[in-house]
């Protein structure tokens, strides 16, 4: 039994030492996306058993994930966390209940952490926000003096170029 523990410890040390060499690296003008975890391993034996080890092969042909790494057939690769696309745009028109453009009116776009962007609608009621982080939820508000616009939530995963905001009908 003592020999079995020594074998397990030796295999664990060999794996940890080799995995430290297979890290994804970047800096300066390069970024290394994949590293081959090659060779290594040994045949360990004693008493009535033996064990063959080889660095990286236990995961060959399968996907193993955890923390920031994804292992596939001996390759280590950094895990993509969060949106990776370039910024997206949201635009549309501010409209009265009758369908007329509402010009020269501020429009606010606020993310869930409280960062607030502002734009002004054109004379025909068009507004636009560019380079917005994708994959998040935003609140759009239009504080107009003579019209009431209900604040709206929007989930941005891609450009949304027809997000019209219509004022509440007046109570005349």
Query: pTM of whole model > 0.75?
Result: no
Pairing of strands 106-111, 116-120: antiparallel
Pairing of strands 165-166, 88-95: parallel
Q: List, for residues 39-60, the tens digit of each pLDDT value.
A: 556 666 666 666 555 554 444 4
Here the tokens at position 131 are 């380079």
The SS3 of residue 138 is strand
The SS3 of residue 172 is coil
Mind listing the domains of the chain with CATH numbers?
2-78 (no CATH), 88-166 (2.60.40.10)
Closest CA to 65 of 50, 80, 51, 55: 80
Least trusted range by pLDDT, from 27-41, 68-82, 139-153: 68-82
> Tell me, what's the pLDDT at 145?
87
pLDDT band at residue 76 using 50, 70 and 90 as cut-offs = very low
Q: List, for residues 118-158, the tens digit of each pLDDT value.
A: 999 999 999 999 999 999 999 999 999 899 999 999 999 89
Here the tokens at position 144 are 């107009």
Look up residue 59 and give its DSSP letter.
G
Residue reference for tokens 């950094």: 78
Element (DSSP H or E) covering residue 36: strand 35-36
Angle at 82 between CA 80 and CA 87, to 5 degrees: 110
């Amino acid at each position: 039994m003592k020999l079995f523990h020594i074998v397990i410890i030796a295999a664990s040390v060999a794996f940890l030492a080799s995995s430290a060499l297979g890290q994804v690296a970047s800096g300066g003008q390069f970024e290394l996306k994949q590293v081959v975890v090659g060779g290594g391993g040994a045949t360990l034996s004693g008493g009535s058993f033996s064990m063959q080890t080889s660095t990286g092969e236990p995961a060959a042909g399968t996907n193993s994930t955890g923390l920031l790494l994804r292992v596939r057939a001996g390759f280590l690769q950094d895990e993509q966390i969060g949106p990776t696309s370039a910024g997206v745009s949201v635009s549309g028109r501010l409209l009265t209940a009758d369908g007329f453009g509402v010009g020269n009116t501020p429009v606010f776009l606020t993310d869930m952490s409280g960062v607030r962007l502002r734009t002004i609608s054109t004379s025909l009621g068009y507004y636009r926000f560019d380079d917005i982080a994708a994959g998040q939820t935003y609140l759009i508000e239009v504080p107009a003096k003579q019209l009431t616009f209900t604040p709206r939530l929007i989930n941005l995963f891609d450009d949304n170029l027809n997000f019209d905001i219509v004022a509440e009908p007046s109570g005349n």
